[in-house]
């Protein structure tokens, strides 16, 4: 069966996440998966709602984004809340969600080397039952 994967992308780092999306599409093709809807949201806080809306019409989903290290703990708190909610959505929909969000706490030097591996891993996480 050809799995249809929905993808949610955070647009706060649009250039980098666009590159992640290309890596994700390539990985999906290599595994015989089809990328269905691609939804762009403002940032990571908007990812869970978009996933919740995508999952009924897809076999699995992946999310791509970046949460940088800021001057406060906001990014860390936000990242923890988003990841916890993504885990809850997997259970709610009984479908896999590949986490391709770099961070929280990513410094600029951490972002570039993680774009490809995080994007590809998010797609691989969607494979299987």
Domain that holds residue 119: 4-124
Degrees, nearest 5: CA angle 93-13-95: 10
CATH of residue 111's domain is 3.40.50.960
Q: Is 92 inside a domain boundary?
A: yes
Q: Is 38 inside a domain boundary?
A: yes
Q: Where are the beta strands (DSSP E) in 42-96?
A: 60-68
Query: CB within 8 A of 95, min separation 6: which ones?
Result: 55, 58, 59, 60, 61
- What pTM did the predictor assign? 0.93
- The 10s digit of each residue's pLDDT in 3-51 is 999 999 999 999 999 999 999 999 999 999 999 999 999 988 999 999 9
Q: Is 25 inside a domain boundary?
A: yes
Q: Is 84 inside a domain boundary?
A: yes
User: Cα–Cα distance between 120 and 100 in angstroms, integer?
Assistant: 8
User: Cα–Cα distance between 7 and 35 in angstroms, integer?
Assistant: 7
Query: CB within 8 A of 25, min separation 6: which ones?
Result: 35
Compute the residue count for the chain.
Answer: 129
Q: Is 43 inside a domain boundary?
A: yes
Q: How many domains does the chain have?
A: 1
Q: Is 115 inside a domain boundary?
A: yes
Q: Is 69 inside a domain boundary?
A: yes
Q: Is 129 inside a domain boundary?
A: no
Name the residue with higher pLDDT: 75 or 27: 27
């Amino acid at each position: 069966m050809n799995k249809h994967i929905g993808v949610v992308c955070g647009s706060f780092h649009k250039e980098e996440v666009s590159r992640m999306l290309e890596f994700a599409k390539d990985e999906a093709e290599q595994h015989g998966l089809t990328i269905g809807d691609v939804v762009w949201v403002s940032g990571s806080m908007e990812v869970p709602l978009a996933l919740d809306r995508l999952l009924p019409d897809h076999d699995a989903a992946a999310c791509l984004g970046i949460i940088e290290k800021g001057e406060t703990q906001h990014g860390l708190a936000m990242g923890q809340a988003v990841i916890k909610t993504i885990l809850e959505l997997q259970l709610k929909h009984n479908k896999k969600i590949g986490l391709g969000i770099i961070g929280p706490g990513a410094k600029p030097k951490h972002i570039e080397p993680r774009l490809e591996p995080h994007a590809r891993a998010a797609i691989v996480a969607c494979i299987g039952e």
